[in-house]
Amino acid sequence: VKVEIPPSNALPHTMSGRDFLLLFQCLDAGSIIMLWALLLVEQKVVLHAQQPHVLTMAAETLCALLFPFNWQHVYIPILPARLLDILQAPVPFLMGIDQEVLKLAESKQMMPEDVVQVDLDANTISCDESVAAKMHLPQKQ
């Protein structure tokens, strides 16, 4: 087995180290690990927060945490209201939605049950029971 450090130009790029700090201020370590695992198994993930810059930084940081893998699916850091239909897509996605667009999506019942919702303001992850059953992570003993 040979382990090599990738060249510095191949490492994931984020805007600054503040991106990681912001994500870890919004979510606890257990939630971040769960979210990382959900992205690795290509789930539909919607991030929501009141401030748009939090959505962008969280989405970028999550993509960087996937290194050495890359998110190859639909990626929209801030979903505009006119593109709400994309929530119905039958493919994995990582999207950010501000509170106003989230309320609109919920009022129009456009949020499918198989979408994992991550509230960055409240440090909560909500998902369907079938998705949760697949994601049993080992617990510290």
Sheet with 74-76: strands ordered across = 74-76, 93-98, 44-49, 115-119, 124-126
Answer whether residue 68 shows pLDDT above 80: yes
Whether the Cβ atoms of residue 79 and residue 99 lie closer than 8 Å to each other: no
| pLDDT of amino acid 21 | 83
Of 100, 71, 69, 74, whose CA–CA distance to 86 is shortest?
A: 74
User: Which residue did the predictor score with more confidence, 140 or 75?
Assistant: 75
pLDDT at 19: 67
- pTM, two decimal places: 0.83
pLDDT tens, position by position, 71-119: 999 999 999 999 999 999 999 999 999 999 999 999 999 999 889 999 9
